[in-house]
Amino acid sequence: MKIELVFIPLPGISHLRPAVKLAKQLIESDDRLSITVIIIPSRFDAGDASASIAPLTTDRLRYEAISVSKEPPTSDPTDPAQVYIEKQKSKVRDAVARIVDPTRKLVGFVVDIFCSSMIDVANEFGVPCYMIYTSNATVLGIMLHLQQMYDQKKYDVSELEESVNELEFPSLSRPYPVKCLPHFLTSKEWLLLFLAQARYLRKMKGILVNTVAELEPYALKMFNNVDLPQAYPVGPVLHFDDDEKQSEILQWLDEQPPKSVVFLCFGSLGGFTEEQAREMAIALDRSGYRFLWSLRRASPNIMTDRPRDFTDLDEVLPVGFLDRTLDRGKVVGWAPQVAVLAKPAIGGFVTHCGWNSMLESLWFGVPMVTWPLYAEQKINAFEMVEELGLAVEIRKYLKGDLFAGEMETVTAEDIERAIRRVMEQDSDVRNRVKEMAEMCHVALMDGGSSKTALQKFIQDVIENVA
């Protein structure tokens, strides 16, 4: 008999694409398996990412879009993602009921961490719930440990930094600075939501983590504990757009020498003030390196609006900057990040430390400068710089968070220093990144650690069939 999994990803490119990619890998690995992906509309983008994946529908990989009524509104635009998803439970329940098929036995849900409350719907259908975690095992371990500390009354955000400078986490081999804790773990408003997520997480049967066993061996040891769900390191789960056209940007990169261009790109939410943009321009000007800079204006409220392109760069950037750098640099809005990182000309990547971006950079052997802006990115940066030695930092401690509505301005001196370090041609960081790139590629081959973990997950799922 065919067996069916239901995937429930968070709407948004950085969560939806890895989920769909993983679903494809699963059905390609076992022809008994079919998957339906429940598409929940985004609150922000009318077209959403679902339009780009809908054509991928096959008889064993299907998409079921739910509708969200506009009147009355189902959520406030400032609601956290968890709250928005919670309000869609009844629609998801109805969608799953529609797809239940006598020829396919439903054996489990696979949900995004922001959709973890959907375990309640899985319970109603009498099937186990797994999680797909699009970040890394280190962050996962920190969340679980802080939840345990909080429940034991050993973690109080109001006392942080006054009573302790560093915290020990079982997913890190060295102490973590309290100054580098993300906003969502230090804000009373956000903390309770993420602690609730961690409690749901402990109820999962297993967690598909977008990481590689060779990348995070220390963090993954934590999940050998019988009190925690089984962790399956199945990454890197990467989305490559094979239809990417040879744009002017990519043609320009083909004309540059190998490892000569520094690429600056900060994800769909990364935007900067005019003051910060000028500091970045000064650093690029002084460094003398070739560059490709994806620059966008900071959103006045990241919860309700996305960053947009600057309307007139000449008014924002230092006088004469665009003319002086015309032959060695390009300032653009959106950039095809994966296609850019794949180019031999890229020698370094200044990134906001989104986990997908970091995995893409490692995959192509490009060393990184870490510039965390929001969410768990400060942890990602610490892991890459301090724990693994695969990146250099823009600065030791960065204040602010885009979701808190404020970011400190990083000086041109700090930016230039980091760019010079990452572009060193025979540095320890560059050599370590090259070695890790090879490990990531091997992990996805037959017999590799991630391929083996994926097969183990399938085996565990099949055992759910009564």
- Can you tell me which residue has the tokens 């189902």? 74
My answer on whether 228 and 255 are in the same domain is no
38 touches 92 (CB < 8 A): yes
Residue 363 lies in a domain: yes
Report if residue 140 sits inside a domain.
Answer: yes
Would you give per-residue pLDDT tens digits along the chain (466 residues)?
789 999 999 988 888 888 999 999 999 999 999 999 999 988 765 444 555 555 556 789 999 999 875 444 555 656 788 888 999 999 999 999 998 888 889 999 999 999 999 999 999 999 999 999 999 999 999 999 999 999 999 888 877 766 678 999 999 999 999 999 999 999 888 899 999 999 999 999 999 999 999 999 999 999 998 899 999 999 999 987 655 556 899 999 999 999 999 999 999 899 999 999 999 999 999 999 999 999 999 988 877 788 999 999 999 999 999 999 999 999 999 899 999 999 999 999 999 999 999 999 999 999 999 999 999 999 999 999 999 999 999 998 999 999 888 899 999 999 999 999 999 999 999 999 999 999 999 999 999 999 999 999 999 998 876 5
Asked if 452 and 353 sit in the same domain, the reply is no
CATH of the domain at 72: 3.40.50.2000
* Within a domain: 385: yes
Query: What domain range is 399 assigned to?
Result: 248-440
**Are residues 225 and 291 located together in one domain of the fold?**
no
Q: Is residue 260 part of a domain?
A: yes
Q: Rounded to an integer, what is the distance from CA 71 to the centroid of its chain?
A: 32
The answer to whether residue 173 sits within a structural domain is: no
In sequence order, what DSSP letters do the residues of 322-387 get, joined into one string?
A: HHHTTTTEEEESS--HHHHHTSTTEEEEEE---HHHHHHHHHTT--EEE---STTHHHHHHIIIII
Do the domain assignments include residue 252? yes
In a domain? residue 451: yes
* Residues 338, 263: Cα–Cα separation, whole Å: 11
Whether 436 and 449 map to the same domain: the answer is no
Does any domain span residue 186?
no
Query: Which residues neighbour 117 within 8 Å (Cβ) at sequence distance 6 or greater?
Result: 82, 85, 86, 89, 200
Say if residue 53 is in the same domain as residue 88: yes
Residues 209 and 333 in one domain: no
Please classify residue 234 by burial: count the beta carbons closer than 10 Å to its beta carbon, then call 0-12 exposed, 13-18 middle and 19+ buried: buried
CA–CA separation, 355 vs 135, rounded Å?
A: 5
Residues 136 and 276 in one domain: no
The reply to whether 214 and 227 lie within a common domain is yes
Q: What is the DSSP string of 263-287?
A: EEE-TTT--B-HHHHHHHHHHHHHH
Q: Count up the domains in the chain and report the number.
A: 2
Asked if residue 99 and residue 115 are part of one domain, the reply reads yes
How many of the other CB atoms lie within 10 Å of CB of 19? 25
Same domain, 425 and 454: no
Q: Please tell me whether residues 259 and 313 are part of one structural domain.
A: yes
226, 253: one domain: no
**Global pTM?**
0.93
